[in-house]
Amino acid sequence: MTQPSTQPARRIKQTAYEKWMAAQDIPIHRGYGIYDARVVERKPWKLTGTPGAFIDLAGMEGFSGMHVVEIPPGGAITPQRHLYQQLICVLEGHGTAEVWLDEAPNEKLTFEWGPWSLFSPPANASYRLYNVGNTPVIYLGVNDAPMMIDLFHNIDFIFNNPFVFRDRFSGSDAEFFTREERILEGSGMMWQTNFIDNVSEALVDAQEAKGAGVKITVFDMASNSFAGHLTEWPVGRYHKAHHHQGGAILLIARSEGYSIMWPQELGIRPYANHFDDQIVRLDWGLYSVFCPPTKWFHQHFNTGNETARQLAFRPGGSSNNPTGFRRSGNRVVNGKMGVYVSYREGGTLIEYEDEDPQIKVDYDKILGDAGIESKMPAFTYNTDVR
C-alpha cells in the first residue's frame, strides 16, 4: 500500500495578472456568473481615478479580463494607455470619449456614447472617458489583459510602452470611429467597425445553424485579435448546446432566461447519464455576465416576453481582419467553425435531435408556469445517443 506523502501540499502560485489584480486594492467578484454587473461592489481605483471592481469568472481562465467602472456625474476617468486590447460597453449613462496619440496630444478624436454603446480604443493609444450627464456612468471593460500581463509579466511595459501601432491607428484618421463594413465570411456576416451606437438594437443576421430563429453577427473592432458577436433568438425558443475554448464572456442585452453548462466529459445527455448534480444552471436578466469554461457545453434559454439578445466578447479575430487573426479556440471542420457543426460531423454542436430530452421537458414546464407558449420546432430524438 502506498504511504501518504509527508510533504505539504503545494499552493498554486498566482499568475502575474492575478498579482496585479490583487495589488489594485479593489473588489474582485468571482463565480460562474454575475446576475447584474451594474450593482457589484466598487471601491476607488487608482488606475481610473473613479470607483471600480474586477469580475473574474471561472470560465475566463486567463484568456480574458473584465472590470466595471463608475464615473460620477460631471467626472472623468484618468487618461488611459495600455498594450492590452479592450472592448468597452456602456451599461448606464451618457458621455464623450477622447482618443489620441501621445506624440500628437492636440489631435484628439472625440465621439459621444450612451447606454449600450460599444467601442474599442486602439491598442496603446491614449483615451479618456467623460460623464456629461447628471447620473453615474457605469461601463464594462473586457480585455485580453491576462494574456498580455502573463506573457510579459512586466507592468511598466504594459502601461508605459511608447510603441505606436500605426497600422491600426494613425492619430489623424477622423473616420476611425464612424467607418464600417459588413463582409460575408463563410456562412455568416462579419461586421468590421470601431463603434456600435447601441448593441441592443443593432442589426443581426440569420444563423439558424445555432438554433431555431437564431441570428448572429460577428464583429471585429480596431483591428484587434480580441473580438465578439451579437446573438438574438425569439420568445419561446432556445439555442443548441455547443462548446469551445474558455474566455468567451456573455453579456445579456435583452430579455431574461437561464443557461445550463456542463463538462463535455459528462456526455451530450448529462441528465440521462445521471450527472444532474454536476450541471450548472445560471439564471440571467438584463446586464448579467457569465463565462462558460473550456469545453463545457452551454445552452441558452429565453424565458422572457421579448427577443433575447447576447453580446459576446472573446479572444480571436476573423480571417478578414487586417491583422490576419482567425477566431481562436474553435475547432474548424471543413472550413466551418466547429460551433456551427454537429458533433456527429466532427464539430462541437449538439443538434436538437441529439440533446438530452430532459432539457426540453424542463424548458416547457418553465414556460408553461410563466404563461408563455413554446415556439420550439418539432423534432424526434435519436435513439443511438449517450
Query: Residues 327-346, buried b or exposed e (16+ Cβ, 10 A)?
Result: bbbbeebeebbbbbbbbeee
Q: What is the pTM of this model?
A: 0.93
> Based on the domain organization, do 138 and 204 belong to the same domain?
no
Is residue 386, in this structure, part of any structural domain at all?
Answer: no
In the chain, the number of structural domains is 2
Do residues 137 and 215 both lie within one domain? no
- Comparing CA positions, the residue from 71, 76, 67, 75 lying closest to residue 37 is 67
State residue 2 phi and psi, 5-degree precision: -70, 130
Q: CA 92 from chain center: how many Å?
A: 18
Supply the CATH number for residue 234's domain: 2.60.120.10
Contact, 247 vs 150, CB < 8 A? no
Judge if 23 and 78 occupy the same domain.
yes
- What number is the average pLDDT over the span 279-286? 98
Nearby residues of 245 by Cβ (< 8 Å), 6 or more positions away: 63, 294, 295, 315, 328, 329, 330
175 occurs within a structural domain: no
The neighbour count for residue 265, using CB atoms within 10 Å, is 10
CB-side exposure of 143: number of CA atoms within 13 Å?
24
Question: How large is the average pLDDT for residues 107-125?
Answer: 96
| Co-location of 141 and 284 in the same domain | no
> How many Å apart are CA 51 and CA 44, to the nearest integer?
4
pLDDT category at 189 given cuts 50, 70, 90 is confident
Cell of 98: 477622447
Q: Does 8 map to a domain?
A: no
Residues 143 and 203 in one domain: no
pLDDT at 2 over 60: no
pLDDT cut 90: percent of the chain above it? 77
Q: Taking all residues of the chain, what is their mean pLDDT, rounded to a whole number?
A: 91
Same domain? For 209 and 354 the reply is: yes
Q: Do 363 and 239 share a structural domain?
A: yes
- Check residue 186 and give its pLDDT: 65
User: Are residues 152 and 186 located together in one domain of the fold?
Assistant: no
SS3 letters across the chain: CCCCCCCCCCCCCCCHHHHHHHHCCCCEEEECEECCHHHCCCEEECCCCEEEEEEEEHHHCCCCEEEEEEECCCCECCCECCCCCEEEEEEECCEEEEEECCCCCCCCEEEEECCCCEECCCCCCEEEEEECCCCCEEEEEEECHHHHHHHHCCHHHHHCCCCCCCCCCCCCCCCCCCCEEEEEECCEEEEEECEECCCCCCCCCECHHHCCCCEEEEEECCCCCEEEEEEEECCCCECCCECCCCCCEEEEEECCEEEEEEEHHHCCCCCCCCCHHHCEEEEECCCCEECCCCCEEEEEEECCCCCEEEEEEEEECCCCCCCCCCCCCCCEECCEEHHHCEHHHCCCECCHHHCCHHHHHHHHHHHHHHCCCCCCCCCCCCCCCC
In a domain, 11, yes or no: no
Per-residue pLDDT at 187: 62
Can you say whether the dihedral through the CA atoms of 374, 379, 383, 384 is positive or negative?
Answer: negative
Burial class (CB in 10 A: 0-12, 13-18, 19+), 137: buried
**87 within some domain:** yes
Q: What is the pLDDT of residues 224-278, one digit of tens each?
A: 988 899 999 999 999 999 999 999 999 999 999 999 999 999 999 999 999 999 9
CB–CB of 268/303 below 8 Å?
A: no
Domain-located, residue 173: no
**Looking at the predicted structure, is the pLDDT value of residue 326 above 70?**
no
Give the confidence band of 183 by pLDDT, cuts at 50, 70, 90.
confident
Query: 136 and 34 in one domain?
Result: yes
Please count the residues of the chain. 386
* Residue-level pLDDT at 9: 52
Mean pLDDT of 86-108: 95
pLDDT at 148 over 80: yes
List the one residue out of 316, 18, 47 whose CA is nearest residue 160: 47
Pair (32, 148) in one structural domain: yes
Asked whether residue 293 is assigned to any structural domain, the reply reads: yes
> What is the domain extent for residue 286?
180-221+225-370
Same domain, 209 and 317: yes
Q: How big is the CA angle at 182 (ends 181 and 184), to the nearest 5 degrees?
A: 140
Specify the pLDDT at position 79: 98
Co-location of 339 and 292 in the same domain: yes
- Does any domain span residue 382? no
